[in-house]
Amino acid sequence: MVDDYAGYEPLFTEGSMIELACWAHAQRKFFDLFEANQSPIAATALKYMTRLYALEGEGQDATVENTIRPICVHTIIIHYQANFG
């Protein structure tokens, strides 16, 4: 996982590495887009991210075996991908 530094881009374009994006960096870009022009797409993305962060906060004291959090997170990400590919 890397930040959004453009110098890393060649590592991913040659196909030998897979890029893992950071939710915090993605959230910042959507936040900036929303602040600039009230983008409905950015607003939707921010809602999905807020749900993910809320689930993470709720599950900090629970074990994976004792929570439905992984299912909820997976569902949110599936909806996110359907909207933003």
pTM of the predicted model, to two decimals?
0.62
Question: What is the gyration radius of the CA atoms in the chain, in angstroms?
Answer: 15
- pLDDT tens, position by position, 13-63: 877 777 777 778 888 989 999 999 999 989 999 998 888 888 777 666 666
Give how far Cα 37 sits from Cα of 30, 53, 60, Å. Answer: 11, 24, 35
pLDDT for res 64: 58
* Distance between CA atoms of residues 6 and 63, nearest Å: 37
pLDDT for res 46: 92
* Distance between CA atoms of residues 54 and 8, nearest Å: 30
